[in-house]
Copies of this chain bind each other. A is one copy, B any other.
Protein backbone atom coordinates (compact mmCIF):
# COMPACT_ATOMS: atom_id res chain seq x y z
CA UNK A 1 0.00 0.00 0.00
CA UNK A 2 1.20 3.52 -0.68
CA UNK A 3 2.59 5.68 2.09
CA UNK A 4 -0.19 7.96 3.40
CA UNK A 5 2.46 10.55 4.23
CA UNK A 6 3.10 10.99 0.52
CA UNK A 7 -0.55 11.24 -0.40
CA UNK A 8 -1.16 13.90 -3.04
CA UNK A 9 -4.09 15.21 -1.04
CA UNK A 10 -1.73 16.30 1.72
CA UNK A 11 0.35 18.21 -0.77
CA UNK A 12 -2.74 19.84 -2.20
CA UNK A 13 -4.08 21.04 1.12
CA UNK A 14 -0.61 22.14 2.14
CA UNK A 15 -0.37 24.26 -1.00
CA UNK A 16 -3.82 25.68 -0.39
CA UNK A 17 -3.10 26.66 3.20
CA UNK A 18 0.33 28.10 2.44
CA UNK A 19 -1.05 30.07 -0.48
CA UNK A 20 -3.77 31.45 1.72
CA UNK A 21 -1.36 32.45 4.47
CA UNK A 22 0.95 34.16 2.01
CA UNK A 23 -1.86 35.97 0.26
CA UNK A 24 -3.38 37.12 3.48
CA UNK A 25 -0.06 38.56 4.62
CA UNK A 26 0.83 40.37 1.44
CA UNK A 27 -2.67 41.59 0.63
CA UNK A 28 -3.40 42.51 4.23
CA UNK A 29 -0.20 44.52 4.49
CA UNK A 30 -0.97 46.44 1.36
CA UNK A 31 -4.46 47.16 2.61
CA UNK A 32 -3.27 48.29 6.00
CA UNK A 33 -0.58 50.50 4.50
CA UNK A 34 -2.97 52.11 2.03
CA UNK A 35 -6.00 52.72 4.20
CA UNK A 36 -5.42 51.42 7.71
CA UNK A 37 -8.22 48.92 7.26
CA UNK A 38 -7.94 45.40 8.60
CA UNK A 39 -8.83 42.61 6.19
CA UNK A 40 -11.98 41.93 8.20
CA UNK A 41 -13.07 45.55 8.07
CA UNK A 42 -12.41 45.63 4.36
CA UNK A 43 -14.44 42.49 3.87
CA UNK A 44 -17.40 43.99 5.71
CA UNK A 45 -17.21 47.26 3.80
CA UNK A 46 -16.96 45.48 0.44
CA UNK A 47 -19.95 43.32 1.20
CA UNK A 48 -22.03 46.32 2.22
CA UNK A 49 -20.92 48.34 -0.79
CA UNK A 50 -21.91 45.53 -3.14
CA UNK A 51 -25.37 45.28 -1.60
CA UNK A 52 -28.22 47.41 -3.00
CA UNK A 53 -29.06 50.05 -0.40
CA UNK A 54 -25.66 49.59 1.25
CA UNK A 55 -27.15 47.88 4.26
CA UNK A 56 -27.58 44.36 5.57
CA UNK A 57 -28.84 42.65 8.68
CA UNK A 58 -26.03 41.65 11.00
CA UNK A 59 -26.85 37.99 10.58
CA UNK A 60 -26.80 38.19 6.79
CA UNK A 61 -23.56 40.07 6.89
CA UNK A 62 -22.06 37.34 9.03
CA UNK A 63 -23.35 34.66 6.67
CA UNK A 64 -21.86 36.40 3.67
CA UNK A 65 -18.41 36.95 5.12
CA UNK A 66 -15.85 34.74 6.83
CA UNK A 67 -16.85 36.23 10.20
CA UNK A 68 -18.85 34.57 12.94
CA UNK A 69 -21.69 36.53 14.55
CA UNK A 70 -19.59 37.47 17.54
CA UNK A 71 -16.69 38.44 15.33
CA UNK A 72 -19.02 40.57 13.25
CA UNK A 73 -20.37 42.35 16.33
CA UNK A 74 -16.86 43.45 17.23
CA UNK A 75 -15.89 44.27 13.66
CA UNK A 76 -18.94 46.52 13.31
CA UNK A 77 -18.20 48.05 16.72
CA UNK A 78 -14.84 49.16 15.42
CA UNK A 79 -16.16 50.37 12.08
CA UNK A 80 -18.84 52.32 13.87
CA UNK A 81 -16.23 54.03 16.06
CA UNK A 82 -14.36 54.97 12.91
CA UNK A 83 -17.54 56.35 11.39
CA UNK A 84 -17.47 53.97 8.45
CA UNK A 85 -20.73 52.14 9.19
CA UNK A 86 -23.80 52.84 11.30
CA UNK A 87 -26.20 50.58 13.12
CA UNK A 88 -29.93 51.05 12.60
CA UNK A 89 -32.49 49.04 14.48
CA UNK A 90 -34.88 47.02 12.39
CA UNK A 91 -38.44 48.34 12.69
CA UNK A 92 -40.14 45.03 11.99
CA UNK A 93 -37.98 43.01 14.37
CA UNK A 94 -36.70 44.89 17.35
CA UNK A 95 -34.08 42.26 18.10
CA UNK A 96 -32.40 42.88 14.81
CA UNK A 97 -30.22 45.64 13.49
CA UNK A 98 -28.92 46.75 10.16
CA UNK A 99 -25.35 47.69 9.42
CA UNK A 100 -25.31 50.57 6.96
CA UNK A 101 -22.36 51.92 5.03
CA UNK A 102 -21.76 55.63 5.58
CA UNK A 103 -20.54 58.03 2.92
CA UNK A 104 -17.21 58.14 4.69
CA UNK A 105 -17.13 54.36 4.66
CA UNK A 106 -17.69 54.29 0.93
CA UNK A 107 -15.03 56.94 0.37
CA UNK A 108 -12.54 55.03 2.49
CA UNK A 109 -13.32 51.85 0.65
CA UNK A 110 -12.91 53.46 -2.74
CA UNK A 111 -9.56 54.89 -1.74
CA UNK A 112 -8.37 51.44 -0.70
CA UNK A 113 -9.62 49.59 -3.75
CA UNK A 114 -6.99 50.43 -6.40
CA UNK A 115 -4.11 49.29 -4.21
CA UNK A 116 -5.99 46.19 -3.22
CA UNK A 117 -6.78 45.29 -6.81
CA UNK A 118 -3.15 45.86 -7.73
CA UNK A 119 -2.08 43.50 -4.95
CA UNK A 120 -4.48 40.85 -6.22
CA UNK A 121 -3.18 41.39 -9.72
CA UNK A 122 0.44 41.10 -8.62
CA UNK A 123 -0.03 37.99 -6.50
CA UNK A 124 -2.71 36.00 -8.28
CA UNK A 125 -3.99 36.92 -11.70
CA UNK A 126 -0.72 38.08 -13.23
CA UNK A 127 0.83 34.70 -12.38
CA UNK A 128 -1.83 32.78 -14.27
CA UNK A 129 -3.13 32.53 -17.79
CA UNK A 130 -6.60 33.83 -18.45
CA UNK A 131 -7.81 30.28 -18.77
CA UNK A 132 -6.31 29.36 -15.39
CA UNK A 133 -8.01 32.31 -13.73
CA UNK A 134 -11.32 31.03 -15.06
CA UNK A 135 -10.53 27.51 -13.90
CA UNK A 136 -9.57 28.72 -10.45
CA UNK A 137 -12.79 30.66 -10.03
CA UNK A 138 -14.86 27.69 -11.15
CA UNK A 139 -13.01 25.34 -8.79
CA UNK A 140 -13.17 27.67 -5.80
CA UNK A 141 -16.86 28.22 -6.35
CA UNK A 142 -17.46 24.48 -6.10
CA UNK A 143 -15.48 24.26 -2.88
CA UNK A 144 -17.04 27.37 -1.35
CA UNK A 145 -20.58 26.25 -2.16
CA UNK A 146 -19.85 22.92 -0.51
CA UNK A 147 -18.10 24.02 2.67
CA UNK A 148 -20.21 27.12 3.18
CA UNK A 149 -23.69 26.73 1.78
CA UNK A 150 -25.89 29.73 2.40
CA UNK A 151 -23.12 32.18 1.61
CA UNK A 152 -24.77 33.21 -1.63
CA UNK A 153 -26.49 36.58 -1.55
CA UNK A 154 -30.06 35.40 -2.06
CA UNK A 155 -29.90 32.27 0.05
CA UNK A 156 -31.89 33.24 3.08
CA UNK A 157 -34.81 30.90 3.45
CA UNK A 158 -34.69 29.29 0.05
CA UNK A 159 -34.18 25.57 0.50
CA UNK A 160 -32.24 24.73 -2.65
CA UNK A 161 -32.28 27.14 -5.54
CA UNK A 162 -28.80 26.90 -6.96
CA UNK A 163 -27.69 29.54 -9.45
Contact = CB atoms under 8 A, between A and B. Distances in A.
Interface residues of A, number: 57
A82 to B, nearest CB: 20
A133 interface: yes
Contacts of A50: 5-6
A103 interface: no
* Chain A residues touching B, majority SS: helix
Identical chains bound together, number: 2
Contacts of A146: 22, 123, 127
Contacts of A96: none
A27 B14 CA distance: 12
B139 A18 contact: no
Interface of A: 4-27, 43, 46, 49-50, 65-66, 110, 113-114, 117, 120-121, 123-125, 127-128, 132-133, 135-144, 146-148, 151
